[in-house]
Amino acid sequence: MLSSDTMIKPVDSPDAFEARIILVEDDKMLRESVAEYLTLVGYDVISVDCGLKFYHTIAEQNFVAAVIDLGLPDIDGLQLAEYIRNNTTMRCIILTARGSVDERIAGYNFGADLYMVKPVDCRELASALGRMLQRTSLEHKPSQGKWSINCQRANLITPESGLLQLTTKEMSFLLSLAESSMEPVLRDTILTTLGYRTDEYANRALESLVRRLRRKIESVYGRAPILTHHGIGYSFSAQIEVI
């Protein structure tokens, strides 16, 4: 069980930024205990007991972080961590009884930002979330400076004048986001722009494209201002012009 004998505020209060958390834990008593504590210290918590409910919930609501158990009844939590890393901008904390070094390494390789072994004090969990969400809030603020897409040369220019060569699909994707002025562009609209069908195969292709493009931008600029809006689409959280 997680200890929560002394109620304290997180190190960084979540009041100043979005603090919606999804908790995935199949142990009912533990799930309710953790959710109650995090709610009392200021977090907006939605808790579910399996992987299927996790997928359904994030399709309907936006979250900035997920706290997931690995031993779920329908799916290994590592698959959820991998999905979070590849398809969202959420932070991910693994909370599990699996404590070996190999299991910890696997957790980080699959996408965890933090790996915590039960029993964990709820105060420590809340503090870790506070630090994590503070970083997320800073990263999701619109980037300073302007980005540019050079259509003739098929490249993306960062605010620091870094250059990234773009594929045809990557450029079409960014152009569709550039037209929205930092507002979300519907997934179906993007699929049509890219010449994809609106089916599951096309959705996976789009997710792969976004994942590759984020990594390409991060290799030059440090972070990619491409945001996923669950159940809606994508946006570019910075000023971007087409030249």
pLDDT (tens digit, 9 = 90+) per residue, 135-145? 655 555 544 56
Q: Check pLDDT > 70 for residue 163.
A: yes
CATH assignment, 147-242: 1.10.10.10
On whether the CB atoms of residues 22 and 189 are closer than 8 A, the answer is: no
Mean pLDDT over residues 127-139, rounded? 72
With bands split at pLDDT 50, 70 and 90, how would you rate the model's confidence at 100?
Answer: very high
> How far is the C-alpha of 243 from the C-alpha of 231, rounded, in Å?
31
> How far is the C-alpha of 238 from the C-alpha of 225, rounded, in Å?
7
Bridge partner list, 92:
66
Q: Check pLDDT > 50 for residue 222.
A: yes
Tracing tokens 């970083």 back to the chain, one arrives at 135
pLDDT at 104: 92
> How far is the C-alpha of 201 from the C-alpha of 192, rounded, in Å?
14
With bands split at pLDDT 50, 70 and 90, how would you rate the model's confidence at 230?
Answer: low
pLDDT at 106: 92
Q: Considering the chain, what is the average pLDDT of its residues?
A: 84
With bands split at pLDDT 50, 70 and 90, how would you rate the model's confidence at 27?
Answer: very high
- Order the strands of the 163-165 sheet from edge to edge: 163-165, 155-157, 147-150, 240-242
Bridge partner list, 46:
22
pLDDT at 171: 94
* CATH code matching the domain that covers 14-140, chosen among 3.40.640.10, 1.10.10.10, 3.40.50.2300, 3.30.70.3340: 3.40.50.2300
pLDDT at 204: 85
Count of all residues that appear for the chain in the document:
243
On whether the CB atoms of residues 68 and 81 are closer than 8 A, the answer is: yes
pLDDT tens-digit series, residues 177-216: 998 877 889 999 999 999 998 888 888 899 889 988 988 8
With bands split at pLDDT 50, 70 and 90, how would you rate the model's confidence at 18?
Answer: low
pLDDT at 9: 47
- In this prediction the pTM is 0.59
Distances, alpha carbon 145 to alpha carbons 136, 157, 162, in Å: 19, 11, 12
> How far is the C-alpha of 28 from the C-alpha of 43, rounded, in Å?
19
Domain boundaries, the chain: 14-140, 147-242
